[in-house]
């Protein structure tokens, strides 16, 4: 998985994990295995 964070856009959450900008989208160019991720795709993230 690769992505870029657009720091010119406002953060969605503050330092206390409270949503402050619900429309904010900082993640750009999200890919998985070199292909763009479908916005409707679901991923399971596990901690090893």
Tens of pLDDT along 20-47?
999 999 999 999 999 999 989 998 989 8
Question: Which whole-number Å values give the CA distances from 23 to 9, 10, 14, 48, in the listed order?
Answer: 10, 9, 14, 32
Report the pLDDT averaged over residues 12-22. Answer: 96
Whole-prediction pTM: 0.64
Domain spans of the chain, in order of start? 1-36
* N-terminal to C-terminal alpha carbon distance within the chain: 17
Residue in the structure block whose two tokens are 């904010």: 24
């Amino acid at each position: 998985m690769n992505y870029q964070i657009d720091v010119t856009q406002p953060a969605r959450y503050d330092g206390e994990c409270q949503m402050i900008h619900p429309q904010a989208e900082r993640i750009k160019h999200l890919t998985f295995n070199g292909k763009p991720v479908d916005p409707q795709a679901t991923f399971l993230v596990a901690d090893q």
